[in-house]
Structure formats: structure tokens, C-alpha cells
Amino acid sequence: MKIKELQKKSKSGLEKILRERRERLRALRFDLDQGKLKDTSQIKKTKKDIAKILTLLNK
């Protein structure tokens, strides 16, 4: 997600997206351990999304 898209969201919207991204990261890690995940760059992208959201929430 782009930072400009996230800035338009409300605090509750950001918190909802944050929960979804953390759940997705957890699922990606499980898939990686089981050998199901082919595109490991998804983990990095998800972690960056989480960092962007946390930055906006802590502003």
C-alpha cells in the first residue's frame, strides 16, 4: 500500500488494516515453514506495510 492511501484512512481503519496485515504475515510465515510459499518477497512487502501503518498511528 502507498503511504498516501494510508493517510486518507481513519485511525480505526488503520487499526483494522494492521490486524489484517499481521494475520497475513503470520499465515505467510506458516506457509514458508511448510514449503508452500513460492514468492518470499510477500513477507518483506507485508512487513513494510505494517511499518508504514505503525508510523502513521504513532504520529
Question: What is the crossing angle of helices 11-34 and 41-58, to 10°?
Answer: 160
Give the start-end residues of each E strand in 16-56. Answer: none
Say yes or no to pLDDT of 54 above 90. yes
Overall pTM surpassing 0.85 (yes/no): yes
Predicted pLDDT at 19: 98
Tens-place pLDDT, residues 5-43:
999 999 999 999 999 999 999 999 999 999 999 999 999
Q: How far apart are CA 26 and CA 13, in angstroms?
A: 20
Domain count, the chain: 1
Domain CATH code at residue 18 = 1.10.287
Domain that holds residue 27: 3-58
Q: Nearest CA to 45 among 8, 2, 11?
A: 2
pLDDT at 1 over 90: no
